[in-house]
Every structure is written in structure tokens, then in C-alpha cells.
Chain A
Amino acid sequence: MTDLLLAARNVTKQFPGVLANDDVSVELKPGRILALLGENGAGKSTLVNVLFGMYRPDGGQIIIKDEVVDLRGPDDAISRGIGMVHQHFQLVPPMRVVENIVLGAEPTKRGLVDLDEARLRVVELSTKYGLEVDPDALVEDLPVGMQQRVEILKALYRNADVLILDEPTGVLTPQEADHLLRVLRGLTETGVGIVFITHKLREVLAIADDIVVLREGRVVGTTTPDQATESGLAEMMVGRSVVLRVEKQAAQPGDVVLQVDDLKVNDDRGQLAVDGVSLQVRAGEIVGVAGVEGNGQRELVEAITGLRHASSGAMAIGGKPLTNSSTRQIAANGVGHIPEDREKHGIIAAYSLAENSVLNRYHRTPFSSRGIMHREVIYEHAQSVVEEFDVRTPSVTVAASSLSGGNKQKLIVGREFSENIKLLVAAQPTRGIDIGAIEFIHRRIVEQRDKGAAVLLVSAELDEILSLADRVAVLYDGKLVDVLDANVATRERVGLLMAGITD
């Protein structure tokens, strides 16, 4: 019986200008769940990437099953029974679920891939652990939650006895997240050990056996759920007390800024996703769009911001009809957009922070004139965004790909807040962000409102909507089922509407 499944001993990892891990030691025993907590950029992803063989540590040791190992790469870690689910899934979208799961470890019969055998094992695994998924579905047709199951199955198929999950619940609906937590609990009963990164303290308290808190690359605390509280953990993470509630005055709505009339929008597969939505957002108010993910929120936001064509209906901003206008025209009318998928739309990973800080403004003065970019001005601008929004980076000239997930998000939010906007469309604005920064961003959203901006907030976090929104619009199956004032929008009532129950 192994005593230690996986451990880091005094691990140090240096990136240019950043000491991402500084003398970090953690331990994982069989059947236990280790939660890693910490601010954005604290070094959590770096640590698990070191444990998974993606990065080579500059100092310290990695121990797998009581043995000091020198990992040559992820393959090496996988063959030693470590499985990892990255925040960005590593799946082949046009291939089937079963093919994805066995890829690289295919069972063969007379030199050919034996898909029937593979399918049997996949079905067996998925029923055993409550990870039901159709083995013959194409991965590209699956919602995010299902894709994540495929990732977990991929690791289990390779007989992983350690599972590392980097912010697995960030992309899930609350229901999916709860289910995932139950699955993980179930896995530990078979002796699997789990390393789990999250920014949601509730989840940590619900599921972890051990909690390790990192700050600026160092371990600043080790505790267990029965000795910890949410506010205590929050304080340990950011080094100060955090106000978890948003302070705000009652809204003073002004003129209608965003007017949406009977809008119909198709999704990527050409199916009707937004089915005749009409909505108004006034200056000085925050309208929250609640709904289980996949009920048309994405398509609605994309149609409003110009990323997607609406098949019918109308949309106007500040009284100006802008239905199916370009992203550029819409932005030019004072619209800021925090996109839902930051890697897909929000940043260009290979670009510097400076270039990203003007991604949708590069063509305007003072960032450029007569077709020539003004680099000094852009650098100064980036510098001020980085300072104001506390983006942790050694400089604004490094590539955005070197930022931690939450710091990328802060950069995008900072960019969109860096000029006067009439309408802010914020989709999952705090996804992947630590609670200290969430507090800050929430305050800034309210501040925008008080300065007279109209805010359309889309979030999978019901708590976020309930604490920020002045009115709550609920989307179900592409239709707006109701719009409630904040004082009557209780968790229960909104929850029922989200499930499509209207009476």
C-alpha cells in the first residue's frame, strides 16, 4: 500500500521575472482530495503542471507513489498513473467520444483498433463512476460539461490513480458542478487521490480533505474544512479581509440604452437558440441574464455585440438601429464587451499585454493615427490597465500566454473599462477570478452603472446575478420567461424560472 500518492517537496519554478513556485511542498494520500487555493497568479496551475511533467522544476523533488521521480513530460506522468484535466480541454472535436478516450491507448485486434472493446470499457467506466456520456456522440456536439466528463474518462481509462483538475467547475453550471463533486467523492472511495483547483470556497469546504493556500508562489497556509470558514480562507488567500457582499445604492434608471425587439438568433448548428427575445436596458441599471448555460445566453450576447448574425428582429443602442452591424460599428457606439470565452475572443495569446490592451481600439487615436501604431502610447495605456486592475505580470511586453488564467481575465476587464462606455455587455466577467479581484470587479461594474452606463450582465453564477442586478431576466430555451425586479428575485423564484417553471 502506497503511503504518498503524489507529492511536491520544496519545488521551485522560475519564469522570466516571476518566481511562480517558491519552495512549495504538498502531499496527496490515497483516497483524499487536496484543494489548492490562492489568488490569481499565486502559482497553482504552475504547481500542478510541474506535478504533471509539463514544466521541469528548477529545484525540489516530485514524488509519485513513494518514489522520487524525474518526469520527462506529461507522457511520463500519465504512464505513472497521473491524469490531468486541463482548463482548456485537449479533445479532438470531430471525433467520437470513444475515439477520444482511447486515443493513444487504443485496444487492438490483429493490428486494427478494436472500437467495440473500447466502447465496452468506456461504458463500464462511465456507469461505474456516474459519468454517463454517449460513447458514439461527436465531441463537438457535446456541451462543456459532457466534454469534461470525456476528459475525466480519458484519465480513468488510462488507470489514473491521481486525478488533477485545474478549475474544473469554472465552466460548469451549478448543477453540473454539484454532480462533478459527487463523482469526485465517489472516485476517492476507490482509492484515487485528487488535486483540485478552484476559486469557489463553497466547493472547497464541501469536498476537500486538505486545503493548501498559495500566495505569491509560497505556501501560506494548510488547513482542513472543519477548521476553516469561507471568510477565513479568503483572508488567508489575499492577506486581508474580503467583503463578500456588494455595497450598492438603489438604481436610478435613465433613458433606454439597449433596445432588443423580438430577436431571433441561430446557434452554430443553425438551430434557433434565441427565440424572439425583447429586452430593454436603461442607463444606470444592471440587468442580469440568468439561465442554465446553453439556453441562448451566448447567442444573445453575440448578436448584440455583432459577433453573430440575428436571423430576425431588431436591436438598437442609444436609439440607433444597429441590428446585424459589424463589431466595429457597435463598439464605436460606446459598447464594451467582456466576452464569455476569453481565449477564443478576448485575447490573442501570442500578442503582448500591450497589444492586447488595445485589441479593439488600436485603430483609434491616441493609439494610432494615419495607419501607424503609437507604441509608447500603447505601452503607457497597458501599464495603467495593469496597475489599476492588478494584473500580475513582470512587464507589459510579455506575451499574454504567460499570464495566469485569472490575470488574462483581469486584463480583458481592464481593457473594456478603460474608456467611457454607454453599454457594458459582460458575459461571465469574473470567471476564473479570485475572490479579492471579484470584489474589485463587482465594485467597478456598479461604479459604471452609477456613472450612467447600462449594464447587461450574463453569468452562470446565480449569486453574482442576484447580488449585482437591479433587474433579473431569465432565459429558458431561448425565450425570455420573465423579468423580475431585484427585490422580488429570490434564489428560489429565479431557480424555478430557470428550470422553465413559470407558475
Chain B
Amino acid sequence: MSRSTLRSVAVPLAAVILGLLIGALLIVSQGASPVTAYSSLIQGGLGDGDALLRTLQKATPLIFGGLAVAFAFKAGLFNIGGQGQLLVGAVFAAAVGFGVDGLPTFIHLPAALIAGALAGAIWGGIAGALKATTGAHEVIVTIMLNFVAGNLTDWLSANPWKDNSGNNIVARTPLVEDSATIPTLGAVPVGFLLAVITAIGCWMILERSTYGFEVRSVGQNRNAAHYAGIKVGWTMASTMAVAGTLAALGGAVESLGVDGRFEAGVNVGLGFEGITIALLARANPLGVIPAALLVGLMEAGASRMQFKAGVAPELIDVIQALILFFVAAPMIVRWLLRMRQGDSEQLRLGAGWGNS
């Protein structure tokens, strides 16, 4: 590993360790043993095939959500709309999943995924297009679109697309057809593989393609991008559409591979975790994979930790918040590590704030 990669992982790594250490103090203060707690956490997340499956399933939408934030960030855009994009992706994928039958898997499954992805592209693209044409700040617009998506998907799953089997009263769609279900290979869900491939694809696009060059140029210096002949507005709009697609794929995989349907309320909050993941990954698409695995593992093992060590599962949220705090405040970590600040490794997620 080169020195610069080493330096760029130093802060997130230190943040994780610090978070776990403070978590250990909290566990002690509860009168429990941190060793038992953490070992059962790992057991619950990695101990056997089931545990691993749970971790990978939890990590999957986190990867997509993290990518949705990280990709937009490369263009200097702060995508808070992962939640809404994920919801529309989930409901439209489910709709195609249960609404059509008689198709072979190799057509039905991709069709359902594409339906979800398109819905997300539109959802993200609206925010991007408004930014490009009117200057409306993407943070505000994506937050508002989250509410719209929440209500829209509630309504869709309670009215036209409601599951009317038996005497169901829950706002949910029917189960998707087998031909639209994402399979699992042993302990590895195919959705997870899709997420990993997508992350690698994002990295390749950003680092190796002319489109990625345009996205990064717009993110780094809009004036210079304009000078270079890049269509700044179009690049921002399309980047948001890509970001929306990424988050929506996470939702589609939830519907088609984990829940088997769309159910209102099930995915609430999941979209926001993408921000945590992207921060932890320092907006690097490849870094999103380990970051999501770590958080996925903690969430998958939380109940076993509660059961074995008697530690409330909310502790996991506290540790996550601590890690995020240390990543977002790298000054503290640098000070603890006695690191000198180099400007190359600075990441300012707030860079999009305030400048239109």
C-alpha cells in the first residue's frame, strides 16, 4: 500500500477504534464485559452461515446508499435524498416484481431492477435538474423529495398496489414472483455481489472515464470545468440521476432479495445511513464496501450481543455515531495520532453548502 492510501485510511480506521474503545467504556459502565459483548457481536455477524448472510444482507443497501452519497459528492453535490430514492426504487421494483408474471427470470428480474433504478434516476434527476436550471440547493430539494417519496410509496402500497390477499390490512404490496426474486448463493446474497460490482463500476467510471473526469472537474472547480468545455449544469443533473439510481438499486434489492415485497415503513431510515457510510469511506466508492460491511456486521450482531452480554442494542447506534463523529472531526483524530495535516487528504462534505 502506498503512503498516501495509508494516510487516507488512517483517519477512518482510528475513528473506528476510538468508537469501539469508548463503546467499551460504556459497556463497562453498564456492568457488562466488553470482551463478551464484542465477541458475541462478531459471532452474531460472522459466526456461521446465517450470521454472515445477515451481515451481507444488511451491508447491501448500505453500499448502494453510500455510493449514492459518494458519487454525488464527487460533483460537489450533497445528496441527502438517499431515503426517498431508495423508497421509490423499492416500490417500483416490487411493482414490476409482482405485477407481471409468466416471464423467465433473466428477463423479469432485470426488468424489475431497471424499473426501480429508473424511478431513482428520476427522483435524483429532479433535484439535479432544479439545481442546474434554477440553482435550487440540492440539499433542500432532496430533503423535500424524501417526504414526497415517503408519502407516495405509502399511498401506492396502501391503494393501487396493495396486497389484498387474506385479510391483510398492512400497507404493503403482494409478494414478488419467484422469477423476480434475487437468489442467494450459499451464504452470499446475489444482491450483495451486485452491490460490490456496482461499487467497482462507480470507481472505474469516476477514475477512468471521461464522464468521471467531467464529474470530478465540476466538483473541484466549476469555473475551470466551464473553461474546459464541460456542460456544468448537465453534469450536475446527470450526476444526481446516477446517485438516485444507486440508492434506488439498494431499495430494489431490498424488495426483490430480502423482504420479497415492498412494505411501507420497513426501510425507513435506511437511506440516511448512506451518509454515514460515505463519510466513513471518505467518499471513495471502493471504501464504501468495507465501511458498509463494518456497519452491517454491527447491525447483524447487535441482537446476539444483547442476548449474550446483556448490552442494549442501541449501543450499536451510539458506537456508530461516535465513529461518525470522529470521522467528521478528523482534527481530533489527527491530534490523537499526532498527524500533520496534509491538504491532499482533506475531505469537506460541507463543500456544497452555501455556494450555489
Residue numbers of A with Cβ under 8 A of B are: 307, 326-328, 331, 337, 339, 344-351, 355, 359-360, 362-363, 368, 371-373, 375, 399, 401
Task: Give complex CA distance A107, B208 in Å.
Answer: 53
Can you name 26 A-B pairs with beta carbons within 8 Å? A326-B229, A327-B226, A327-B228, A327-B229, A331-B229, A344-B223, A345-B224, A345-B226, A346-B227, A347-B224, A348-B224, A349-B220, A349-B221, A350-B220, A350-B344, A355-B213, A359-B217, A360-B229, A362-B210, A362-B228, A363-B229, A371-B211, A372-B208, A373-B208, A373-B209, A399-B344
Closest partner residue, chain B, to A401 (CB atom): B343
The winner among A326, A327, A349 for most chain B CB atoms within 10 A is A327
Contacts of A399 in B (CB 8 A): 344
A373 near B213: Cβ-Cβ < 8 Å: yes
A328 near B208: Cβ-Cβ < 8 Å: no
Task: Give complex CA distance A349, B220 in Å.
Answer: 8
Residue numbers of B with Cβ under 8 A of A are: 208-211, 213, 216-217, 220-221, 223-231, 343-344
B229 near A371: Cβ-Cβ < 8 Å: no
Contacts of B224 in A (CB 8 A): 344-348, 359
Task: Give complex CA distance A350, B210 in Å.
Answer: 17
Contacts of A363 in B (CB 8 A): 210, 229
Contacts of B225 in A (CB 8 A): 348
From the candidates B209, B223, B344, name the one contacting A371 in the complex (CB within 8 A): B209
Closest partner residue, chain A, to B229 (CB atom): A328
Task: Give complex CA distance A345, B225 in Å.
Answer: 8
Task: Give complex CA distance A355, B228 in Å.
Answer: 12
Contacts of B227 in A (CB 8 A): 307, 327, 337, 339, 345-346, 359-360
User: In the assembled complex, how far is the CB of residue A133 from the closest CB belonging to chain B, in whole angstroms?
Assistant: 26
Closest partner residue, chain B, to A308 (CB atom): B226
Task: Give complex CA distance A282, B229 in Å.
Answer: 25
A307 near B226: Cβ-Cβ < 8 Å: yes
Task: Give complex CA distance A368, B210 in Å.
Answer: 7
Task: Give complex CA distance A371, B343 in Å.
Answer: 30
B220 near A348: Cβ-Cβ < 8 Å: yes
Task: Give complex CA distance A345, B209 in Å.
Answer: 22
B231 near A326: Cβ-Cβ < 8 Å: yes
A360 near B210: Cβ-Cβ < 8 Å: no
User: In the assembled complex, how far is the CB of residue B200 from the closest CB belonging to chain A, in whole angstroms?
Assistant: 15
Other CB < 8 Å A-B pairs besides A326-B229, A349-B220, 11 of them?
Answer: A327-B226, A328-B230, A331-B229, A345-B223, A351-B220, A360-B228, A362-B210, A362-B213, A363-B229, A372-B210, A373-B213
Closest partner residue, chain A, to B204 (CB atom): A372
The winner among B217, B221, B223, B227 for most chain A CB atoms within 10 A is B227
Task: Give complex CA distance A327, B226 in Å.
Answer: 7
Task: Give complex CA distance A328, B221 in Å.
Answer: 17
Task: Give complex CA distance A219, B317 in Å.
Answer: 58
User: In the assembled complex, how far is the CB of residue A460 from the closest CB belonging to chain B, in whole angstroms?
Assistant: 20
User: In the assembled complex, how far is the CB of residue A49 from the closest CB belonging to chain B, in whole angstroms?
Assistant: 13
**Given A345-B223, A346-B224, CB of A373 within 8 Å of CB of B210:** yes
Closest partner residue, chain A, to B217 (CB atom): A348
Task: Give complex CA distance A355, B208 in Å.
Answer: 11
Task: Give complex CA distance A368, B223 in Å.
Answer: 22
Closest partner residue, chain B, to A305 (CB atom): B227
Closest partner residue, chain A, to B221 (CB atom): A348
User: In the assembled complex, how far is the CB of residue B173 from the closest CB belonging to chain A, in whole angstroms?
Assistant: 38
Task: Give complex CA distance A373, B209 in Å.
Answer: 5
Contacts of A331 in B (CB 8 A): 229
User: In the assembled complex, how far is the CB of residue B16 from the closest CB belonging to chain A, in whole angstroms?
Assistant: 26
Task: Give complex CA distance A348, B343 in Å.
Answer: 14
Task: Give complex CA distance A36, B246 in Å.
Answer: 54
Task: Give complex CA distance A337, B227 in Å.
Answer: 9
Contacts of A346 in B (CB 8 A): 224, 227
Task: Give complex CA distance A131, B17 in Å.
Answer: 54
User: In the assembled complex, how far is the CB of residue A338 from the closest CB belonging to chain B, in whole angstroms?
Assistant: 11
Task: Give complex CA distance A331, B227 in Å.
Answer: 10
Q: Which 3 A-B pairs have the closest CB atoms?
A: A328-B229, A345-B227, A360-B228
Contacts of B343 in A (CB 8 A): 401
Closest partner residue, chain B, to A306 (CB atom): B229
Contacts of B210 in A (CB 8 A): 362-363, 368, 371-373
Task: Give complex CA distance A358, B39 in Å.
Answer: 52
Contacts of A347 in B (CB 8 A): 224
User: In the assembled complex, how far is the CB of residue B84 from the closest CB belonging to chain A, in whole angstroms?
Assistant: 30
Task: Give complex CA distance A371, B207 in Å.
Answer: 12
User: In the assembled complex, how far is the CB of residue B75 from the closest CB belonging to chain A, in whole angstroms?
Assistant: 13
Task: Give complex CA distance A80, B344 in Å.
Answer: 29
User: In the assembled complex, how far is the CB of residue A336 from the closest CB belonging to chain B, in whole angstroms?
Assistant: 12
Task: Give complex CA distance A371, B209 in Å.
Answer: 5
Contacts of A362 in B (CB 8 A): 210, 213, 228
Contacts of A368 in B (CB 8 A): 210
Closest partner residue, chain A, to B344 (CB atom): A399
Task: Give complex CA distance A346, B225 in Å.
Answer: 9
User: In the assembled complex, how far is the CB of residue A10 from the closest CB belonging to chain B, in whole angstroms?
Assistant: 22
Closest partner residue, chain B, to A368 (CB atom): B210
Contacts of B209 in A (CB 8 A): 371-373
Contacts of B211 in A (CB 8 A): 371
User: In the assembled complex, how far is the CB of residue A308 from the closest CB belonging to chain B, in whole angstroms?
Assistant: 10
User: In the assembled complex, how far is the CB of residue A140 from the closest CB belonging to chain B, in whole angstroms?
Assistant: 13
Closest partner residue, chain B, to A367 (CB atom): B210
Task: Give complex CA distance A349, B211 in Å.
Answer: 19
Task: Give complex CA distance A337, B217 in Å.
Answer: 18
Task: Give complex CA distance A348, B219 in Å.
Answer: 10
Task: Give complex CA distance A371, B224 in Å.
Answer: 20
Contacts of B228 in A (CB 8 A): 327, 359-360, 362
User: In the assembled complex, how far is the CB of residue B348 from the closest CB belonging to chain A, in whole angstroms?
Assistant: 12
Contacts of B208 in A (CB 8 A): 372-373, 375
Contacts of B229 in A (CB 8 A): 326-328, 331, 360, 363
Task: Give complex CA distance A348, B213 in Å.
Answer: 11
User: In the assembled complex, how far is the CB of residue A453 from the closest CB belonging to chain B, in whole angstroms?
Assistant: 20
Closest partner residue, chain A, to B205 (CB atom): A371
User: In the assembled complex, how far is the CB of residue A22 from the closest CB belonging to chain B, in whole angstroms?
Assistant: 21
Contacts of B213 in A (CB 8 A): 355, 362, 373
Task: Give complex CA distance A432, B225 in Å.
Answer: 23
Contacts of B223 in A (CB 8 A): 344-345
Closest partner residue, chain A, to B340 (CB atom): A56
Closest partner residue, chain B, to A398 (CB atom): B344
Task: Give complex CA distance A344, B221 in Å.
Answer: 8
Contacts of A326 in B (CB 8 A): 229, 231
User: In the assembled complex, how far is the CB of residue A296 from the closest CB belonging to chain B, in whole angstroms?
Assistant: 20
Task: Give complex CA distance A344, B226 in Å.
Answer: 10
User: In the assembled complex, how far is the CB of residue B233 from the closest CB belonging to chain A, in whole angstroms?
Assistant: 11
Task: Give complex CA distance A373, B229 in Å.
Answer: 16
Task: Give complex CA distance A104, B231 in Å.
Answer: 39
User: In the assembled complex, how far is the CB of residue A429 from the closest CB belonging to chain B, in whole angstroms?
Assistant: 15
Contacts of A375 in B (CB 8 A): 208
User: In the assembled complex, how far is the CB of residue B309 from the closest CB belonging to chain A, in whole angstroms?
Assistant: 45
Task: Give complex CA distance A339, B221 in Å.
Answer: 14
User: In the assembled complex, how far is the CB of residue A342 from the closest CB belonging to chain B, in whole angstroms?
Assistant: 9
Contacts of B226 in A (CB 8 A): 307, 327, 345
User: In the assembled complex, how far is the CB of residue A15 from the closest CB belonging to chain B, in whole angstroms?
Assistant: 11
Contacts of A359 in B (CB 8 A): 217, 224, 227-228
User: In the assembled complex, how far is the CB of residue A118 from the closest CB belonging to chain B, in whole angstroms?
Assistant: 25
Task: Give complex CA distance A133, B209 in Å.
Answer: 49
Task: Give complex CA distance A327, B224 in Å.
Answer: 11
Contacts of A371 in B (CB 8 A): 209-211
Task: Give complex CA distance A371, B213 in Å.
Answer: 10
Task: Give complex CA distance A344, B213 in Å.
Answer: 18
Closest partner residue, chain B, to A363 (CB atom): B210
Task: Give complex CA distance A360, B223 in Å.
Answer: 12
Closest partner residue, chain B, to A328 (CB atom): B229
User: In the assembled complex, how far is the CB of residue A136 from the closest CB belonging to chain B, in whole angstroms?
Assistant: 23
Closest partner residue, chain B, to A332 (CB atom): B229
